[in-house]
Amino acid sequence: MRHPTHQELPTKLKLYFPYVLPESAFLSTSHLFLALSVVFVWGTNFVVIRWGLDGLPPFLFATLRFSFSALPWLLFIKRPAVPWHKLAAFGVLLGVGQFALLFLAMRADISPGLASLVIQVQVFFTIGLALITLGERVRGYQMAGLMLAVAGLVVIATHLDATLTLKGLALVLSAAFFWACANMVVKTVGRVDMLGFMVWTSLFAVPPLFALSWWLEGPALMAESVQQASMSVWACVVWQAIGNTLFGYGAWNWLLARHPAATVTPMALLVPVFGMGASALSLGEPLPLWKLAAGALVLCGLVVIVVWPRWRSALVRVEAA
């Protein structure tokens, strides 16, 4: 759907709407459903991570996840037209920066539901980095929505207990920053084959993750964990590789290449809704009032960010008719 530009508006409307969002600032219905499917996979994936960590140490788990994301797919999926250094940068930022730290935190220092909420600080990091490095504009309604979400995260941060330690909070916040940095790499590659991009970048995540596992977890634990892993643990690894990495990040990066970061990244604020719900249903994670309040604030922030531009655009079209 095409939205009217500022030049096409009647003179009177220009006085009330001095700036009209470009078409790229809107998610079409198909793109919106694609984004929702990604955040559903990502949200429920925190439960899958928790199951996988019951059988594999965190760095080995991450190593296997990205190994299966790269092989055998790179044998028959062509490398995208992206410089090698950008492929390497994204792979290391996502594999080591985000997931190694996230898996380490989820081993014992943060529950799946809370991890799915805290990691969403990446939204603020991404928009801030886009503002600084790419000159993207952050608008008033986006700031209002983000502030609501920040309030929800503050509620989480003030309830450190057995399900959230200071170490876990620091690790997940660091993972969120590296996710945002990976998003910035995506913004520089343009419209490329994102499935191929995820396959080839996964290759660069494997060596540093394997080195970390060898150094910190030890070859004996690595071998024992692989030998004793059950079919359900291997299923978690496969789901991480295909569902979460290839589909999730491939589709997400495809959207980021076609829309401003401030339009796409706030959709990830729905991840904790799915994450906390799945953790409560599958793992019995308690949902006290403060967790529900934090989730409600995050969801309200998302509603402001998504609904306001569509409402404004519809108002402009009605007035111009």
pLDDT digits (tens, 9 = 90+) for 312-321: 666 666 666 5
**One-letter identity of residue 32:** L
CA distance 159 to 152: 12
Task: Quote the pLDDT of residue 1.
Answer: 45
Q: What is the Cβ-side half-sphere exposure of residue 236, based on CA atoms within 13 angstroms?
A: 22
Structure tokens at 316: 């402009």
Q: Does any domain span residue 20? A: no
Q: How far is CA 1 from CA 30, 61, 202, 310, in A?
A: 11, 43, 35, 11
Q: Does any domain span residue 123? A: yes
The top-scoring range by mean pLDDT among 241-245, 296-300, 310-314 is 241-245
Q: Is the peptide bond before 309 cis (omega within 30 degrees of 0)?
A: no
CA distance 83 to 93: 16
Q: Does any domain span residue 287? A: yes
Q: What is the pLDDT of residues 164-193, one digit of tens each?
A: 888 898 999 999 999 899 988 988 887 777
DSSP 161: B
Task: Quote the pLDDT of residue 316.
Answer: 63
Q: What is the pLDDT of residues 128-148, one digit of tens each?
A: 787 777 676 777 777 888 888
CA distance 201 to 127: 23
State yes or no: pLDDT of 63 exceeds 90: yes
Question: Rounded to 5 degrees, what angle do the CA atoms 31, 45, 299 make?
Answer: 60
> For residue 164, what are the β-bridge partners?
110, 161
Which structural domain, as residue segments, surrounds residue 305?
28-320
Ramachandran bin of 288, using left for φ above 0, alpha for ψ from -120 to 50, beta for the remaining angles: beta
> What is the greatest pairwise CA distance in the chain?
74
Burial class (CB in 10 A: 0-12, 13-18, 19+), 137: exposed
Give the global pTM: 0.79
Q: How far is CA 296 from CA 42, 269, 274, 304, in A?
A: 19, 11, 12, 12
Q: Is 164 helix (H, G, I), strand (E, B) or coil?
A: strand
Q: Does any domain span residue 4? A: no
What's the pLDDT band for 99 if we cut at 50, 70, 90? very high
Q: Does any domain span residue 232? A: yes
User: Do residues 275 and 46 make contact, with C-beta atoms less than 8 angstroms apart?
Assistant: yes
Task: Quote the pLDDT of residue 17.
Answer: 37
Higher pLDDT, 318 or 302: 302
State yes or no: pLDDT of 302 exceeds 80: no
Mean residue pLDDT across the chain: 82
Number of domains observed in the structure of the chain: 1
Q: How far is CA 207 from CA 31, 66, 106, 214, in A?
A: 34, 10, 22, 10
User: Do residues 160 and 109 make contact, with C-beta atoms less than 8 angstroms apart?
Assistant: no
Q: Does any domain span residue 219? A: yes
> For residue 161, what are the β-bridge partners?
164
Question: Which residues, other chains included, contact 268 with Cβ-Cβ below 8 Å and sequence gap of 6+?
Answer: 39, 42, 120, 122, 123
Q: Does any domain span residue 22? A: no
Q: Does any domain span residue 37? A: yes
* Residue with token string 């730290």: 101
**One-letter identity of residue 100:** A
* Residue with token string 């809370």: 114
